[in-house]
Structure 1
Amino acid sequence: MKRKGIHIAGQAVVITAMVGATAAFVGFNKTVDLVVDGEHQQVRTFSDSVEEVLAGQNLDLAQDDRVQPGTDASVTRGMDIVVNTEKDVALTLDGVSYDETTHANTVDEALADLGVDPAGAEISVAGDAPLDSAGATELTVVTPKTVTVRADGETVPVEGTPATTGEALELAGVAVDETDVVSAPLTAPIASGQTVDVMRTETKTETVEETVKKKVTEKKTDKMVEGGKKVEQKGHNGKREVTYEVGLLDGEEVSRVEKDEKVLEKPKEEIVLVGTGDPTDPDSYEISPDGQEGGSMSTAAIKEMLGGPSSPWYKIAQCESEFNPKAVNRSNNRYFGLFQFGIPTWEGVGGSGNPADASPQEQFMRAKMLQERAGWSQWECAGMVGVG
């Protein structure tokens, strides 16, 4: 009986131990919902923290991966542990490339996270498609736009999803040649509200007749009074036939390049004598300022020398002598020349001999000397013509 009792007691101890172990197993074993990048699974664990649960599932997390609740949170039965890893997205939005990162799991979630409105847009990947957690997900999005195309004198509105200037032109039905000029490169990204201008180029050949200007050469000579001019050799313009290549942009000429020339008539050089002779010495030159031989001066040349009708000298000479440098006062024969000098007055300003024998230039020079000394009152005609 004693041994039997011991045997029963031993069995009781074993049974008690097994019951305790079972109770401990049930008490420490927990079931949690683990969601990794949108994929759900139930996990039984004895772990005390979220970090231990993830380690037990062999999840190697990066620094920027997101875990809810945090990795140091205590594990409770039935809790949700959500893991969203950081993912790379190679986004091309309306022709412009961006390298982005997101914790989203699908294309739609990624677009929302990146602030891209998918309404009406063309998207290269379905919205519910999962993002690649191992590499970059390539994603192309073209948003709807309103673009204006101007070509061939017409304005065409375009509504659609063109990503580039070239696609906008295709939607507008506008063909472009290599020689045409477009306001933006065909491969350039295009934005809503943008205007694209297409300018047509054209090249044409044009043959015209042109004047070839004559060369004019001046030669100084002391045989003619200073300021005088005379044509020694009369020249003339020439003619040539020229062929041009003309560039047009939307019908407007933008370039003209000479391609060929044919001389129809050669120009002839004109030689003009320019006087340097002393105007106070009429015997020192042989040609007058207007080109007449012998030192004489035409009435037209005298009028020009005096400054024309608006000049006070012009008015006085007209009144005193009618522009005649040889004039003699008929009433007393005491006043001579353009400005009707008396001999004493003439000599008083440095003249010699009879004023009427001096050149018109000298008479004018000494008249100006007299006016500077004594004013306009020296001539009666000054008051009559309103001078002074």
Structure 2
Amino acid sequence: MSKPQYETYGQPPFAPYEPYGDGGAAVGHGGYQDTYRPAYEMTPGGYGAYGAGGDGGAAGAPGAEYGGYPESPVSPAIPENPEPERVEYAEAADGAAYTPADGAEGAGSGPLLPRQAGGPRSAGRAQARRAARRKRSGERPDGLRRLVPQALVVAFLAGGTSAFVANDKAVQLSVDGRSRTLHTFADDVGELLADEGVDVGTHDIVAPTADTVLASGDEIAVRYGRPVRLTLDGKSRQVWTTARTVDGALRQLGVRAEGAYLSASRGKRIAREGLDLDVRTERTVTVMADGRARTIRTNAATVHEAVEESGVTLRGSDTTSVAPDSFPRDGQTITVMRISGRKEVREEVIPYAVRKTEDASLLRGTEVVVQAGHEGARRVTYALRTVNGVKQKPRRIKSEVVREPQTRIVKVGTKAPPTSVPGADGLDWGALASCESGGRPTAVDPSGTYGGLYQFDTRTWQGLGGSGRPQDASATEQTHRAKKLYVQRGASPWPHCGKRL
């Protein structure tokens, strides 16, 4: 590097000035006030950077006054010298030692300057300073030309360093509770997370938001969402939480857990894949049993458990007013039903069926029973219950047929009856019927022997070609059979009413 225009003299290599030094073998140092003052500049009544030399190389005393500064109280007396001697020094070609300029008085007789390794000291310091100044003035243009590019490079590097430092931000990143401090050049939170490889899903939370501009000292928190299959008081649903423990999830979801049953401990950590959590809050339930009401606080899972917690025992067929395995609701009243019962077997009649068939050989209106019907029987078992002392309707629990019923079969005539019987058509059959039966075709005498319009007995009726009983036949058929009987026997079959024919 080129020499500065004003060179400061110090101990090699270029040591800074010390405070007022003591006299010694070397030249005395000036005080702090003369730092970077031109070596050649002297003011009247004062001393430059170096004090006056002693005899024969004695130590130089500290400068007495510097630009009007008072003399140091520890300085030795300085002889008056209103016009100080100015000695010019010139620098040796190898830069090893400073010597007085050619022709200067006392050249080579004084002690060496601080940069010298050794040699005589010159008393013409002013001359040496003027020579050094002239030399440096001649080198200044080349030195400036060398300094300008270097200064530009330094300025560019300084500006780049300033921009680098300004863009670097120290932030604190917390991911799922794990915090660390890092330096980043990201502009916003989203860019920082991308740089750090932190993936954020739909159910995750980032605070502040991803588009927030970053500044040094910011704190960013990422909390991952976790699925929880929550069964709360018997009702299941899937929820998401960013809490890392069961207790935190309950607080986040607003679930009242005081006195509640939890399928997992509050301190259990929730993994990223989630967990199943069953919560049963404490409820008030009233149990009615044996004429007494019992109100309890419970977190039972079923009605049966709640009844047992109330101190009521179910025996035999006892049950409750609601399903025993249902979930007990807050404020619900459960009635215990004491059931006693027995079985009873009853025999019941099975009625027979009637089947009729047409028969063309029989006169219309005539029905003949081919097969008589018989009733069947079945055995039925009933359960008879008494609930809390009240008899209930019998409940049929079993049935079996003891005897099958027999179907009744009847033939129905479809043949048209004859309209006349020669020798009897002109008689007053209506008057006879009125006298015998009051004109009723189904009339039967008190003894049950005679029946019909004309009071036939069954044997006579069937002998005339009738079937079954006369009172079961139509009026037309009965009249036809009566005419046939008259032709055979006259009016004798009707001894009291035959005269009305």
TM-score normalised by the chain length of structure 2:
0.40
1:166 equivalent to 2:304? Answer yes
> Displacement, 1:103?
3.7
Superposed counterparts of 1:74-223, under 5 Å: 74-127=213-266, 129-132=268-271, 134-176=272-314, 179-205=317-343
Q: 1:243 to 1:80 in 2, by over 3 A?
A: closer
1:62-114 Cα shifts (integer Å, max 9, x gaps): 13422222212211011122223332111011122111123444434433443
- Residues 205 and 246, structure 1, Cα contact 8 Å, conserved in 2: yes
Where does residue 37 of structure 1 map in the other structure? Answer: 176
Letter matched to residue 395 of structure 2: S
- Provide the residue aligned with 1:376 in structure 2: none
The runs of 5 or more residues in structure 2 that have no matched partner are 5-142, 350-378, 403-429, 451-495
Q: Percent identity?
A: 34
Could you report, residue by residue, the CA deviation over 1:31-61 in whole angstroms, capped at 9, with x for unpaired residues? 2222333443322212111112112221011
| C-alpha contact (below 8 Å) 1:89/1:101 kept by paired residues | yes
Residue correspondence of structure 1 range 1-388 to structure 2 within 5 A: 23-127=162-266, 129-132=268-271, 134-176=272-314, 179-205=317-343, 246-250=383-387, 251=389, 252-253=391-392, 254-255=394-395, 281-284=434-437, 291=446
SS across alignment from 1:110: helix
Cα distance change on mapping 1:282 and 1:97 into 2, 3 Å: same
Secondary structure of 1:32's partner? Answer: strand
What are the superposed Cα offsets for residues 175-199 of structure 1, whole Å, 9 maximum, x if unpaired?
4468444343333222101222333
Cα distance in 1 between the residues matched to 2:176 and 2:213: 21
2:259 aligned counterpart, secondary structure: coil
CA distance in 1, matches of 2:191, 2:268: 31
Q: Aligned to 2:258, what secondary structure does the other structure show?
A: coil
Q: 1:327-347 CA distances to partner (integer Å, 9 max, x unpaired)? A: xxxxxxxxxxxxxxxxxxxxx
The 3 A distance-change label for structure 1 pair 185 and 61 is same
Amino acid at match of 2:307: L
Indicate conservation of the 8 Å contact 2:341/2:386, yes or no. Answer: no
Q: How many Å apart are 1:153 and its aligned residue?
A: 4.4
Q: Which has the higher contact order (CA 8 A, sep 6+)?
A: 1
**What is the CA–CA distance in structure 1 between the aligned matches of 2:432 and 2:303, rounded to whole Å?**
77
Higher helix content, 1 or 2: 1
The alpha-carbon distance between structure 1 residues 206 and 152, as it changes in their structure 2 partners (threshold 3 A), is farther
Which residue identity lines up with residue 281 of structure 1 in the other structure? S
Conserved? CA contact 1:164–1:190, under 8 Å: yes
Given that 1:49 and 1:71 are in contact with CA atoms closer than 8 Å, whether structure 2 keeps it comes out as yes
Maintained 8 Å contact 1:95/1:190: no
Q: Helix, strand or coil for the counterpart of 2:190?
A: helix
From the superposition, tell whether residues 202 and 25 of structure 1 become closer, same or farther in structure 2 (CA, over 3 Å): same
Q: Which protein is bigger by CA-based radius of gyration? A: 2
Query: 2:224 corresponds to which letter in structure 1?
Result: T
Q: Deviations 1:157-179 (Å, cap 9, x if unpaired)?
A: 22121122232122123344684
CA separation of 1:68 and 1:206: change in aligned 2, threshold 3 A:
closer
8 Å CA contact 2:229, 2:237 repeated in 1: yes
Provide the C-alpha distance between the structure 2 equivalents of 1:27 and 1:64, rounded to a whole number of angstroms: 35
Distance between the aligned counterparts of 2:218 and 2:2, measured in 1? 53
- Residue 167 of structure 1 aligns to a residue whose secondary structure is helix
Q: Which amino acid aligns with 2:201?
A: A
Note if contact 1:148-1:196 (Cα within 8 Å) is conserved in structure 2.
yes
Unpaired runs of at least 5, structure 1? 213-241, 263-276, 296-356, 359-388
CA distance in 2, matches of 1:96, 1:61: 30
Supply the distance in 1 between the matched residues of 2:262 and 2:207 (Cα, whole angstroms). Answer: 31
1:95, 1:164 within 8 Å by CA — same for their partners in 2? no
Q: What displacement does 1:207 show?
A: 8.2
Deviations 1:223-249 (A, max 9, x none): xxxxxxxxxxxxxxxxxxx99654314
The worse-fitting range, judged by mean Cα deviation, of 104-113 and 142-151 is 104-113
In the TM superposition, what is the alpha-carbon distance from 1:116 to its structure 2 partner? Answer: 2.1
Instruction: Output the TM-score relative to the length of structure 1.
Output: 0.50
Rounded to whole Å, the distance in 2 between the matches of 1:102 and 1:118 is 16
Distance of 1:258 and 1:82 partners within structure 2: 72
Shift of 1:146: 1.0
Are the structure 2 counterparts of residues 76 and 94 from structure 1 closer, same or farther at C-alpha, using a change threshold of 3 Å?
same
Question: 1:278 and 1:124 mapped to 2: Cα distance?
Answer: 102
Q: For 2:294, what is the secondary structure of its paired residue? A: strand
- RMSD across aligned C-alpha pairs, in angstroms? 4.9
SS of residue matched to 2:384: strand
Q: Is 1:201–1:247's contact at 8 Å kept on the other side of the alignment?
A: no
Counterparts of 1:279 and 1:129 in 2: how far apart (Å)?
A: 111
- Quick one: which amino acid aligns to residue 247 of structure 1? L
